[in-house]
Amino acid sequence: MINLNSITNAPYPRLVVDLKKLRHNIDVVLSNCNKANISVCGAIKGFNGLPEAVKQFAEAGCSQLGTSRMRTIKELTMLGIDAKYLLLRVPMLSEVEDVVEYADVSLNSDIEVIRALNDAAAKAEKLHEVIIMADLGDLREGFWDKEELVNCAEIIEKELDNIVLKGVGTNLGCYGSIKPTVEKMNELILIAELVEERIGRRLEIISGGATSSYTLVLNQSMPERINHLRIGEGILNDYDLPEIWGLNIENMYQDVLTFEAEVIEVRNKPTHPVGEICIDSFGRKPEYIDRGIRKRVLLAAGKLDFALNDKIFPQKEGVEVIGSSSDHMILDIEDSKEEIKVGDIVTFNVSYPSMMYMSNDKYVNVIYK
Ligand SMILES: *Cc1c(COP(=O)(O)O)cnc(C)c1O
């Protein structure tokens, strides 16, 4: 049998992770949050839990490390990366045994699943911590009915001996694009207070959301009782915070992760396809603008590696992404002052969504520096 792990990849494309810059960004976010008495779950799913990067989150003092996939938590545990792990996606019924074995805390929105976690935890003679989620309008996970949430909290508190109710949380700005505001945070605090009234004790955690909620820390308007956030994007790449939120992020690196791909063709070609236009390799019918003959580069990397060609950004001035298919990317380099030739490497800053694909791609080499 051939061991597939021993097949060495071509050196490119590669994803370069700068651990010093990563650590700097983590430290800045932790310091901002800690000043506001907020502990931070470092969300490591954006780069699929690449171990060396995960270590930086653990060493920097994140209260937990969070990811949506149990498999990542299991792998990191097996690699010996010791941390408190938080499962960000509400558990599947079929994975509760793994959840209680490998995750310390999970976000939850279903009493049947929580009961199953309790049974699994009892069997494993463990305690499992939960944060119950309230849906405040973004329409992904979470209880919609407040009474149902409070009842769930009461059941956990009074009946489920192996589940520890740590607190309540919410998630915004994911499916429904809902903006985290002071009002939404106050709504969550109100829900926490309803739970506290019912169970007769104070909750330890009120988890106000993800990077989008971190913006309230940056503009110093986060209500006091919010004491926990789950942050990934805001650490790894927050280039859209100034644009969308008007926030200053000058002290943050935008190139913690960079993508490098190799040039396989350089040629002058027309900008408008020649012949009868039908559909592209993804079954779509894009618009093409005729800009005459221009100098273009073909790279050996494609949608399989980064999914969205408009979400990765060439570092060189005058280099523009004009399209891609599964395994190729086309750049316009007509306005580039530097010469680019076959065999050269083109470097990109990457968005949060593209790093998710790249870090999960067996064709991309991951390099730490
Ligand atoms: C992904 C995720 C986060 C982290 O989101 P970022 O935008 O990367 O900060 C937080 N909470 C939940 C429930 C998530 O799924």
DSSP per position, 158-173 = HH-TTEEEEEEEE--S
Mutation probe of ligand 1 site: the residue of 30, 57, 178, 230 with most atoms within 8 A of C-beta: 230
Tens-digit pLDDT profile for residues 135-176: 999 999 999 999 999 999 999 999 999 999 999 999 999 889
- How many A from CA of 156 to the centre of ligand 1? 25
Q: Quick one: how far is CA 21 from the chain centroid?
A: 17
The pLDDT score that the predictor gives to residue 238 is 79
pLDDT (average), residues 285-302: 95
Between 281 and 308, the higher pLDDT residue: 308
Q: Which pTM value belongs to this model?
A: 0.95
Q: In angstroms, rounded to a whole number, what is the distance separating the alpha carbons of residues 212 and 187?
A: 16
SS percent in the chain: helix, strand, coil, step 5? 35, 25, 40
Which residues are catalytically annotated? 45
The pLDDT score that the predictor gives to residue 5 is 63
CATH architecture label of 257-368: Beta Barrel (2.40)
Q: Where in the chain is the domain with CATH 2.40.37.10?
A: 257-368
The pLDDT score that the predictor gives to residue 248 is 80
Per the prediction, the chain carries an average pLDDT of: 95
Q: In angstroms, rounded to a whole number, what is the distance separating the alpha carbons of residues 153 and 145?
A: 13
Tens-digit pLDDT profile for residues 210-230: 999 999 999 999 999 999 999
The pLDDT score that the predictor gives to residue 6 is 65
Q: Where in the chain is the domain with CATH 3.20.20.10?
A: 19-243
Tens-digit pLDDT profile for residues 76-111: 999 999 999 999 999 999 999 999 999 999 999 999
Domain 19-243 has CATH 3.20.20.10: yes
**Ligand 1 site: residues with CB under 6 angstroms?**
43, 45-46, 68, 88, 107, 171, 210-211, 230-234
Q: Kind of pairing, strands 293-299 and 257-270?
A: antiparallel
In this prediction, residue 284 has a pLDDT band, given cuts at 50, 70 and 90, of confident
Most confident of 244-253, 274-283, 321-330: 321-330
Q: In angstroms, rounded to a whole number, what is the distance separating the alpha carbons of residues 299 and 347?
A: 11
